Amino acid sequence: MEIARQFSEAVFDARGRTLALVADLSDDQLFGPRLPITNPLHWEIGHIGWFQENWILRHALGRPPIREDGDRLYDSSAIPHDIRWDLPLPSRRQTIEYLLQIRDRVQEQISRVDFPESARYFVYLTIAHEDMHDEAIILTRQTLGYPPPPELGLPEVVPAGELSPGDAEIPAGNFVQGSAAGEEVFIHDNEKWAHPVDLGGFAIARTPVTQAEFAHFVDAGGYRDPALWSEAGWKWRSSCSAEHPVYWRRSTAGWQRRHFDQWMPLEPRLPVVHVNWFEAEAYCRFAGRRLPSEAEWEVAASAPPTVGGGIGSRKRRYPWGSELPTPERAHLDVTRQGCIDVAALPKGDSAWGCRQMIGNVWEWTQTPFLPYPGFSADPYRDYSQPWFGSHKVLRGGCWATRSRLIRNTWRNFYTPERRDIIAGFRTCRL
């Protein structure tokens, strides 16, 4: 019954987090303006509940739907994004009741001795789905200039820490990328399965690019120099007349950035955030650097060196080892309302000396989001397959990512123009 207890606690925790992230918002804020990169939060929280009901209660257990209109209201695969503001959604109170009703029914089923083992996959799936949507709710709060989310963890200041600047030198070698069958974690289809890759030697920055470093690129005219941008990147920059990161503005006292509903001076030692793949790529050209491939990123995070200095074959689940994330190792779980110093949390270093490869800020890689060899879609076919080829891979999670979700092999993916993500990057030497 231990697995049932863990499932029940996770289902309860995830639903509580979802409701806490919208509890302070007005009914008008729950709908918000019609934008291509956000969902109306009133719809989004209902969708979270529907997804859990659909896959556990209906698909895995054969129960009838709680709402006869649920599919017409909340099926994201069938409902175009731009009409989600126009749907006849239930009231806020009714939506919350629906969420709680689903939570209670799922917990009841999980606790049954005859709960089928085949349904466990869908419990994992729906918890991961809710965790990812909770991060999306935080992105929406930033995008729309709402107050920061409630602080859900430790409020104390994190010591900055010390770190030698420069790169971690990683030798050439063979590496097994991806997740292996039999691991005691939930694995999405795009991580399947582990496969060998040959890598040349490379040098990767020990920390992500900071706000101060990116400000130097902006002040040097980086956004106005087409030589620094790819053709697609320059087309994007020209289409929106971008001159700096999306939430930055210049004041008489220097650069400021908007953090949710507040403007504040740049924090030089915090990672640059809310930059897209094109901006990261242009910065790299300016700095004479490049983005890491996702295989290089995964090696730096998970493959300890051998005694002889080569790439070890025993991968780590996290940069520091197999122990679960803690606040001393990784900045996750909305324990604070934003990023921390790039040199903080030395206990989370990888074996190669790279810091914060899990948590604080998602990191763009140069790699297109494509299937691994032998890919086969899982039952939720729309999770990965529709997005191959059009998205870029990000790794590592951010301060708003749940710790139970993230690990070294987790692949996130977004289109290269997206700036709303809590994403930055680290660089490699050419």
Listing from the earlier edge strand, what are the strands of the sheet with 254-259? 248-251, 254-259, 262-265
The stretches in the chain having pLDDT less than 70 are: 1, 152-158
Looking at residue 153, its pLDDT comes to 62
Looking at residue 424, its pLDDT comes to 98
Q: Is 112 exposed, middle or buried (0-12, 13-18, 19+ CB in 10 A)?
A: exposed
Rounded Cα distance, 236 and 240, in Å = 7
Q: Which two tokens stand for residue 253?
A: 């006292």
Rounded Cα distance, 111 and 1, in Å = 8
Q: Which two tokens stand for residue 12?
A: 């309860």
Q: In this structure, is the dihedral angle defined by the CA atoms of residues 414, 419, 420 and 424, taken in order, positive or negative?
A: positive
Q: Which two tokens stand for residue 60?
A: 């895995």
Topology (CATH) of 2-143: Four Helix Bundle (Hemerythrin (Met), subunit A) (1.20.120)
Looking at residue 156, its pLDDT comes to 59
Looking at residue 3, its pLDDT comes to 86
Helix (H, G, I), strand (E, B) or coil at 28: helix
Listing from the earlier edge strand, what are the strands of the sheet with 289-290? 167-170, 202-205, 428-429, 289-290
Looking at residue 219, its pLDDT comes to 98
CATH 1.20.120.450 domain span(s) along the chain: 2-143
CATH 3.90.1580.10 domain span(s) along the chain: 152-430
Q: Does domain 152-430 have CATH number 3.90.1580.10?
A: yes
pTM attached to this predicted model: 0.96
Q: 329-364 burial, b if ≥16 CB within 10 A, otherwise e? A: bbbbbbbbbbbbbbbbbbebbbbbbbbbbbbbbbbb
Rounded Cα distance, 192 and 186, in Å = 11
